[in-house]
Structure 1
Amino acid sequence: MSAQPPVRARILDAAALLFYTEGIRAVSADRIIAAAGTTKVTFYRHFRTKEDLVVAYLRAQSERIRAAAGNLDPDPCTGLLELATAMGEETCVPGFRGCPFINAAAEFPDAGSPVRTVVREHRNWLHAQVRGRLEQLGALNPDTLADQLLMLRDGAMVHGYVADPAGVTDALISGGRAILEHALS
């Protein structure tokens, strides 16, 4: 018989599943406590507030994405293609409900909230990853170009959730190529 994961990890795992599938505001702390098989006292010992739990959830998502990005090809063009492919394919995974950061930003409209701070930090990191590769390619305005590619990515994430995700990967890649070809020509 294998040991259960530590209680903090169980709480985070339960929250991640419920937040992503049902929405952050729709899920009560009591539901997370029950799903994690813990008590309120233990829950609040690890997370003083539900917002603290949301911040931890988003940080864990960011760490997962950053770890995966560490495996991208160092060639800027190949790495961007791999990134677009991974993002497009993510929209085809059963149960896909959009980008957890876009979803969290929609549920926490106050730009000063800790949740929005984590969303901003993650998006700044992602922007820097794309901008760095664009700089390697010699783009004249890599910040603007990175913004355009991330807007395309955001649209693909939303489209993959609200419409048929078939073709999202190809559309994301061809749209990105068109932007790059225009900017780099």
Structure 2
Amino acid sequence: MVLTDTRPTPAAVPVLVPAAPRVHARVRILGVADRLFYSEGVHTVGVDRIISEAQVTKATFYKYYRSKDSLIVAYLQGRDKRSRDFVSALEKRESSAEQRLRGVVAEISSELMDPAFRGCPFINAAAQFTEANHPVRAAVQSHREWYLMKVESLFRTLGHERAGDAADEFFLARDGAFAFANLGDPVAANAALHRAFERVLHAASA
């Protein structure tokens, strides 16, 4: 005789997977703004669209950002922080001024060759705000002054007799490469950037 186990099979215990924590509304708003402002332009994108894509109410938006201009400033400050964090990590990784400068150029190159590249976010934003004392222009100026100071310091460490001039030339090459690539020829822009950088670097060691 075959004995059959007639005991009821215990019901499967459901495994509860904790839901991913919802991103804070302020962070969602800024994340959407960062993506849209960079890809489409700060003047093109309206507040209502940001509110819709961030899935927040209008009251929530204005709780964290008093105006669209204040959100643009926050967007630029976020981009500035990324640059500062990159340079800080580069300084920890590379001990020589030349390698740090080459690291900066390599980062610019990767931006130029990125299919999603739409130009320099700071130059793009400044072009749409003509008032010299506007908070957006102030955010742009703060970033560029910091960047120029960092590059000048590296050229001075290399022993360049005119470190300030070298930094200006570097910045001119960088801004030109950003504009050149944004107009449709990133490969040529990247090559020109490297040629200009090598000339400035050679002058530092001549």
**Counterpart residue number, 2:66:** 48
Which range is displaced more, 168-177 or 81-90? 168-177
Write the letter of the residue equivalent to 2:54.
A
1:176 has 2:197 as partner: yes
Specify which of 65, 79, 82 is matched with residue 64 of structure 1. 82
Specify which of 25, 36, 44 is matched with residue 18 of structure 1. 36
Shift >3 Å, 4+ stretches = 167-170
Deviations for 1:93-133, whole angstroms, at most 9, x for unmatched residues? 12110010000110111111000101000001100110110
Q: 1:126-165 residue pairs with structure 2 within 5 A?
A: 126-165=147-186
Specify which of 81, 85, 94 is matched with residue 106 of structure 2. 85
1:183 deviates by 4.9
Specify which of 107, 117, 120 is matched with residue 99 of structure 1. 120
1:83 & 1:116 partners in 2: Cα distance? 24
1:167 deviates by 4.4
Structure 1 stretches lacking a partner, 5+ long = none
1:71 deviates by 1.9
1:74 & 1:154 partners in 2: Cα distance? 26
1:84 and 1:169 in contact (8 A); partners too:
no
**Counterpart residue number, 2:13:** none
Identity of aligned residues (%): 37
- Structure number with bigger Rg: 2
1:38 & 1:81 partners in 2: Cα distance? 42
1:33 deviates by 0.4
1:110 has 2:131 as partner: yes
CA-atom RMSD in angstroms = 1.2
1:184 deviates by 4.1
TM norm structure 2: 0.86
2:158 and 2:204 in contact (8 A); partners too:
no
1:96 and 1:161 in contact (8 A); partners too:
yes
* Number of equivalenced pairs: 185
1:180 & 1:75 partners in 2: Cα distance? 13
Structure 2 stretches lacking a partner, 5+ long = 1-18
Write the letter of the residue equivalent to 2:56.
T
Deviations for 1:141-182, whole angstroms, at most 9, x for unmatched residues? 211210110110001111111122124333312211112323
